[in-house]
Amino acid sequence: MSNSLAAGIDIVEIERMKRAIDTWHDSFLNRVFTFSELEICGGNPARLAGRFAAKEAVLKALNPDVITCNWRDIEILASASGRPLLKLHGKAVYEYNRKNIMNLDVSISHCHQYAVAIAVAQ
C-alpha cells in the first residue's frame, strides 16, 4: 500500500445507539467497546455512536472485503485534549501490517442526531 491512501467514512444515528443500549445493555456495550472506551464515553450515546462510526470507518479503510475482526480489535481512545487516538489489536493489527500501512488516523464529529467519523490510511 506504499504511497497510496485508503479512506473509510461512517455515520451513525445517535437515537439508534440509544435503542441498542436500552435493548441489549451491557451485552451490547461489552461486545462492541473496550473498558477504556466505555470509561471515556461515560455512557453518553453520542460519544459511543462516534466511536462506533470510527470503528466502521477504520474497518473500511483497512478493507472490509478482506478483514473481519472483533469490534474490540479497533479501539478509539482519547488524547488529553480529547482528540481520538486509534489503537489496533488482533486481526486489525495483522491487516495494518500486511498492507504496510505507515499511518492510520481517525476523526469524529457529532451533532444532535448523528455521529460521523472518517479514517484515512497511508
| Whether pLDDT at 1 is above 70 | no
> Exposed, middle or buried, 93 (CB in 10 Å: 0-12/13-18/19+)?
middle
Structural domains of the chain sorted by starting position, each given as residue range(s) with its CATH number in brackets: 6-121 (3.90.470.20)
Quick one: pLDDT at residue 63? 82
Cα-based angle 17, 20, 68 (whole degrees, multiple of 5): 85
Q: What is the mean pLDDT of the chain?
A: 94
Which 3 state secondary structure label does DSSP give 79?
A: coil
The pLDDT tens digits for 59-112 are: 999 986 766 789 999 999 999 999 999 999 999 999 899 889 999 999 999 999
